[in-house]
Amino acid sequence: MDVSELLDSLNDKQRDAVAAPSKNMLVLAGAGSGKTRVLVHRIAWLVQVEQISPHSILSVTFTNKAAAEMRGRVEQSIGGNIHGMWVGTFHGLAHRLLRMHFQEAKLPQTFQVLDSDDQLRMIKRVVRSLQLDEKKWPAKQAMYYINGKKDEGLRPQHIDCQFDPTEQTFVKIYQTYQDTCDRAGLVDFAELLLRAHELWLNNPILLEHYQQRFTRILVDEFQDTNAIQYAWLNMLGKKHGNVMIVGDDDQSIYGWRGAKIENIQRFVKDFDAETIRLEQNYRSTANILNAANALITNNNNRLGKDLWTEDDAGETISLYTAFNEIDEARFISGRIKQWLEEGNSLDDVALLYRSNAQSRLLEEALLQARLPYRIYGGLRFFERQEIKDALAYLRLINNRNDDASFERIVNTPTRGIGNKALTLIRDCARSQGSTLWDACLHMIEQNELAGRSAKTIKAFVDLIVQLEDDSSNLNLDQQANHVIQHSGLKAMYQAEKGERAAARIENLNELVTACSTYEVDPEVEDELTPLTAFLTHASLEAGESQADEYESAVQLMTLHSAKGLEFPLVFIVGMEEGMFPSQQSAEDIVRLEEERRLCYVGMTRAMKKLYLTHAESRRLYGQEKYHRQSRFLKEIPDKFIDEIRMKNQVAKPKTTGRFSNTITMETFENTGFKLGQQVMHQKFGEGVVLNFEGTGAQSRVQVNFSDHGTKWLVVAYARLEAI
Ligand SMILES: Nc1ncnc2c1ncn2[C@@H]1O[C@H](COP(=O)(O)OP(=O)(O)OP(=O)(O)O)[C@@H](O)[C@H]1O
Ligand SMILES: [Mg+2]
């Protein structure tokens, strides 16, 4: 792209931001106003016009995927590659620094990243080792505590807990956990940021090196930075005064993870930054945009922004009231099918939900309708059980001190190592201040294990050593394959049988493929073995990209992970009180406002058409619950919404069992049943058909059961038999 093109595709305000002389800037603007576009064009501008070396540019994105996209977009617009430029998430960049300066950061070269699942296990173990009551000190709570403190930049010794015995215990857990991680060479996500911050704090020369190197810094989605990220940026960027941040206070949705909206104003003050506001939205139709704008005005203390569009009103937003969660899912799959039949692509469709667990039913409906789908950021490849098992073997082979991996696989597949033996090993590790692996060696050597345990533990130790011996000279993918085969994992999953087992084997095979296509980043990972590099990659990526990347598919994701994305057709499901807003946020104004921002984020992902759905009843934890519709629905002015309700589409519902003769003889929409007909249901027994609703796959019948009263049932599911 030449320079004029770079600017031509921008409006005046965007252009001002892209071509501004270097200074600290805040681009504050609502959803879809081109903030990310400005950032990308700004980088291209710096390289092409200002002749800044990519080496001097550091750009922070919110996800790894966004980083890859940004790199691609910049490379495309300057028509060349941008080697030397650092683009990544705060975590990814911190990790990179720690890899490059592991000694200064007081880490072993082979340090590994601990994901949250493994972190939780470690903390559980620590709580137990401190002989605390696990009910009183739940590991999860301790994990929030530890990560929260790290996000604030606090080590145990910084925490004043003299007069608070509860906090004293948490600090003790924090300290013990940290000691264990340090011993094992493990770094959790929050630790990455804190360590990287301390790295600079303790090494002024190193800091100065990076301050001089990164003379241009850009940050997307700034509204979701936490305290330690802000401190890190402040340290790096303040000296040269060329930091551009873009953000939207109305889209701050990670307060629960320590993000601070106040950082936006703080930045303006600390960095003496100029504010540029963008006001034109290029993403959504006027109906969608105005509905989202109306919703968000219900929040207080906003920085305030105007957002308008030149786009047409477009279709109204459709609101569907499903009568239960199955109906909701089927309605959605029906509409997607229709969308596809109208000649559109599945890639253009997103289903957004409040919590991950909601995906299951939607998946089921999509599977039934044979609509390919992909879960974005949910059941991630590298988080799947079998993958984590295989990686744990590789990790332990790579680094015997990795206690988390040791714990995971010591008895997977089962090899008769019981809890008793494990407790002995843990105790020994604790008393020796050693890792679990070393404790095993010690106990074997000293004959401290009972006959059977001694044998099984020795066998495990031998297995790991053998796996390493046999595979260390192989290529990375051969090595992975060898370990999957000879660890017993493959046989174990094969023995499981069924579809799920087949999927697991497929995943394991895919891991080998992932190894074979993995490319080492020469700037950081040259010194590492390919295995260490790959294992790190696995932890960081956690499968943000899915296996079947090239197939056209519906995207399923949580509202949180939809941030920054856009789709022509969007469904937001489960819009019920207690679901969205979530139960916990209903009484707390701060949390409620964050939920509302989340709804704003969700709605503003839609370009052409938005569906909002809710179910009148829903099975939750095995129980049928009735929820009122979400207050957010009521906050959207009626003029933007069009209600679809099956009841409106059918003949008047009847509530009694008496029918006129003409109706009695009709078979409703080929359901196979007639009004007044006697039917049998597996669970509810005998009954009489009272009424029909809906059409096609969604048709429902109302049946009066002799023993269970009147119920509405979806014909396709109910398996009613005429008698
Ligand atoms: N000046 C412009 N002319 C035409 N299209 C534009 C312009 N600016 C942005 N767009 C398009 O508008 C859409 C939204 O842009 P972008 O994703 O950069 O917005 P954003 O402010 O980052 O949104 P979000 O707040 O959701 O992250 C994109 O499809 C982008 O290509
Ligand atoms: Mg954006």
Q: What pLDDT, in 10s, does the model give residues 171-217?
A: 999 999 999 999 999 999 999 999 999 999 999 999 999 999 999 99
Tell me, in angstroms, the distance from the centre of ligand 2 to residue 319's CA.
Answer: 27
Based on the residue annotation, tell me whether 35 is a catalytic residue of this protein: yes
Q: What is the pLDDT of residue 666?
A: 39
pLDDT above 70 as % of the chain: 90
Ligand number with the minimum distance to the CA of 32: 1
117 contact partners, CB below 8 Å, separation of at least 6: 383, 388
Whether residue 163 is predicted with pLDDT greater than 70 in this model: the reply is yes
Q: What is the signed CA dihedral for 372, 376, 378, 380, rounded to 10 degrees?
A: 90
Q: Show the CA angle centred on residue 117, arms to residues 113 and 119, nearest 5°.
A: 60
Based on the residue annotation, tell me whether 577 is a catalytic residue of this protein: no
Question: Average pLDDT, stretch 314-330?
Answer: 92
- Hey, how many other C-beta atoms are within 10 angstroms of the C-beta on 91? 17
Q: Render pLDDT for 134-145 as a digit per residue (tens, 0 to 9).
A: 889 999 899 999
15 lines ligand 1 (CB under 6 A): no
Q: Between 527 and 654, whose confidence is greater?
A: 527
Q: What is the pLDDT of residue 652?
A: 34
597 lines ligand 1 (CB under 6 A): no
Q: What is the pLDDT of residue 694?
A: 64
Q: What is the pLDDT of residue 364?
A: 72
Number of H helices, E strands in the chain: 30, 21
Q: What is the pLDDT of residue 498?
A: 65
Ligand number with the minimum distance to the CA of 604: 1
ipTM above 0.95, yes or no: yes
252 lines ligand 1 (CB under 6 A): no
What is the rounded distance in angstroms from the CA atom of residue 26 to the CA atom of residue 24? 7
Question: Average pLDDT, stretch 458-470?
Answer: 96
What is the rounded distance in angstroms from the CA atom of residue 442 to the CA atom of residue 448? 8
Based on the residue annotation, tell me whether 384 is a catalytic residue of this protein: no
Local structure of 132: helix, strand or coil: coil
**Nearest atom, ligand 1, residue 248 CA:** 25
What is the rounded distance in angstroms from the CA atom of residue 410 to the CA atom of residue 429? 15
Question: Average pLDDT, stretch 156-166?
Answer: 92
DSSP E strand boundaries for 124-254: 186-188, 216-219, 243-247
- Per-residue confidence band for 547, with pLDDT thresholds at 50, 70 and 90: very low
31 lines ligand 1 (CB under 6 A): yes
Percentage helix, strand, coil for the chain under 3-state DSSP, each rounded to 5: 50, 15, 30
What is the rounded distance in angstroms from the CA atom of residue 221 to the CA atom of residue 66? 11
Based on the residue annotation, tell me whether 656 is a catalytic residue of this protein: no
Q: What is the pLDDT of residue 659?
A: 31
What is the rounded distance in angstroms from the CA atom of residue 314 to the CA atom of residue 382? 40
The pair of structure tokens assigned to 681 is 């249901």
Range in 85-94, 462-471, 654-663 with the lowest mean pLDDT: 654-663
Strand 709-714 to strand 700-705: parallel, antiparallel, or no bridges (unpaired)?
antiparallel
Whether residue 636 is predicted with pLDDT greater than 60 in this model: the reply is yes
Range in 242-246, 291-295, 370-374, 471-475 with the lowest mean pLDDT: 370-374
Tell me, in angstroms, the distance from the centre of ligand 1 to residue 676's CA.
Answer: 57
Cis peptide before 204 (omega within 30 of 0): no
- Candidates 27, 59, 283: which one to mutate for ligand 1, based on the most atoms within 8 Å of Cβ? 283
63 lines ligand 1 (CB under 6 A): no
Q: Between 305 and 126, whose confidence is greater?
A: 126
Question: Average pLDDT, stretch 423-434?
Answer: 92
Rama region for 592: left / alpha / beta (φ>0; ψ in -120 to 50; rest): alpha
Whether residue 561 is predicted with pLDDT greater than 80 in this model: the reply is yes
Tell me, in angstroms, the distance from the centre of ligand 1 to residue 188's CA.
Answer: 34
DSSP state of 569: E
Q: What is the pLDDT of residue 631?
A: 97
User: Is residue 86 within 8 Å of residue 100, measured between CB atoms?
Assistant: no
* The one-letter amino acid at 709: G
Which residues partner with 71 through β-bridges? none
pTM equals 0.75
Q: Render pLDDT for 205-264 as a digit per residue (tens, 0 to 9).
A: 999 999 999 999 999 999 999 999 999 999 999 888 799 999 999 999 998 888 899 999
Cis peptide before 108 (omega within 30 of 0): no
Ion ligand 2: residues, CB within 5 A, are 35-36, 564
12 lines ligand 1 (CB under 6 A): no
Tell me, in angstroms, the distance from the centre of ligand 2 to residue 566's CA.
Answer: 9
507 lines ligand 1 (CB under 6 A): no
User: Is residue 141 within 8 Å of residue 185, measured between CB atoms?
Assistant: no
Which residue out of 188, 221, 250, 386 is catalytically annotated?
A: 221
**Nearest atom, ligand 1, residue 604 CA:** 26
Whether residue 621 is predicted with pLDDT greater than 60 in this model: the reply is no
Q: Quote the crossing angle between the two packed helices 262-270 and 227-237, to the nearest 10°.
A: 20
Helices (H), 487-560: 489-496, 498-517, 522-525, 530-541
Q: What is the pLDDT of residue 570?
A: 98
Q: What is the pLDDT of residue 657?
A: 32
